[in-house]
């Protein structure tokens, strides 16, 4: 099957900080599953990252780190288009056009804008308000069929769908209307210290998350300190949220079902389970960490990957943008 015959899958990851096992299990790990069956576009969303204050040198470093992690996690640059968002100018160009189609009321209802405004009250800029339109541009540029999303991003995908349908109705069929790709096997990974909250690097308690690059002794300590309960009953239910979260993590890394895990540890102390879980995470992350460091140290290889990726992405993006510009009435620039 050629790329033209395959459905298009697209996903972008922000370089807004070091990535956790929640980012890995919920998104990045799954990308490699798509690359044989779909025409995949994976990118680092550095343009999205600047909706909040960034240190330029840190942003550049983290952008490379996310790319290296993509590859270390099994993404093959020969099978996918792997690129950096800001290196394909069509993202910003289409975003401006879509801003003219997006309604203020729609954007003001975005729950992430509300939550981020509270987190960054000293810098509520217009990009923070309109970045869902840029996200829609990311998706629609590549005629994307499927977008892997979590519950917190579904609202943004709905905006992309609305904008595609609105533009198509007004100017004729132009955009593929995307659908969500929801991995039912993998639920959300929660904080190790507060299982009511999503695992996040922004949590002030470093024991609440595990970074993909955490050292083995740090990983084991964090798992030992993870909250469970005083029931001492190894079971998988919503009343034992801390334990349930750890079982989900074990299941994701081991590929074993929840039922198998509960059966294995029924009657065991939580400490035995935590010790095994720590060892399992270390075992699974070690080869990724090794390859990741290898890739980061090979500057030419990484530069070649994102340079070639931007060229491949721009060929597709330019084709879409040219159609859009023609339909809305922009004159084509003639070459002298």
Q: Which residues are catalytic?
A: 116, 198, 201
- Strand order across the 146-148 sheet: 81-84, 39-44, 8-13, 146-148, 179-181
Burial annotation 185-209 (CB, 10 A radius, 16+ → b, else e): ebbebbbbbbbeebbeeebeeebbb
Helix (H) or strand (E) holding 81: strand 81-84
Cα–Cα distance measured from residue 213 to residue 289, given in angstroms and rounded to the nearest whole number: 6
Collapse the DSSP code of 148 into the 3-class scheme (helix H, G, I; strand E, B; otherwise coil) and give the result.
strand
Tell the burial category of 88 from Cβ atoms under 10 Å away from its Cβ (0-12, 13-18, 19+): buried
Q: Which of 222, 227, 201 is nearest to 282 (CA)?
A: 222
- CA 103, 104, 108, 110 torsion: positive or negative? positive
- Residue in 253, 242, 244, 243 with CA at minimum distance from that of residue 282: 253
Length of the chain: 336
Where would I find the H helices in 142-256?
154-171, 216-225, 241-254
Instruction: State the DSSP code for 86.
Output: G
Q: Which residues pair with 9 in a beta bridge?
A: 40, 146
């Amino acid at each position: 099957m050629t790329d033209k015959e395959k459905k298009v899958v697209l996903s972008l990851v922000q370089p807004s900080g070091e990535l956790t096992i929640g980012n890995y299990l919920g998104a990045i790990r799954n990308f490699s599953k798509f690359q044989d069956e779909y025409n995949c576009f994976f990118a680092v969303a550095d343009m999205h990252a600047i909706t909040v204050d960034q240190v330029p040198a840190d942003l550049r470093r983290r952008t490379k780190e996310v790319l290296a992690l993509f590859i270390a996690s099994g993404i093959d640059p020969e099978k996918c288009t792997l690129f950096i968002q800001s290196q394909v100018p069509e993202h910003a160009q289409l975003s401006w056009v879509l801003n003219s189609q997006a309604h203020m009321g729609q954007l003001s209802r975005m729950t992430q804008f509300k939550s981020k405004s509270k987190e960054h009250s000293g810098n509520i800029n217009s990009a923070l308000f309109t970045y869902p339109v840029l996200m829609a541009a990311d998706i629609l540029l590549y005629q994307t069929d499927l977008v892997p999303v979590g519950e917190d991003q579904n609202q943004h995908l709905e905006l992309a769908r609305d904008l595609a349908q609105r533009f198509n109705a007004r100017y004729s069929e132009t955009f593929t209307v995307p659908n969500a790709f929801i991995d039912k096997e993998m639920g959300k990974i929660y904080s190790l210290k507060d299982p009511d909250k999503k695992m996040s690097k922004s949590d002030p308690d470093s024991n609440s998350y595990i970074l993909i690059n955490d050292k083995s002794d740090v990983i084991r300590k964090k798992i030992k300190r993870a909250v469970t309960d005083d029931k001492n009953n190894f079971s998988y239910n919503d009343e034992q949220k801390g334990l349930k979260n750890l079982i989900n993590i074990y299941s994701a890394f081991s590929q074993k079902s929840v039922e198998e895990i509960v059966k294995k540890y029924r009657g065991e102390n939580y400490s035995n389970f935590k010790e095994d879980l720590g060892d399992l995470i270390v075992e699974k992350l070690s080869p990724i960490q090794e390859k990741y460091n290898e890739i980061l140290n090979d500057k030419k290889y990484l530069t070649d990957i994102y340079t070639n990726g931007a060229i491949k992405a721009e060929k597709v993006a330019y084709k879409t943008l040219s159609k859009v510009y023609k339909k809305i009435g922009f004159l084509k620039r003639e070459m002298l």
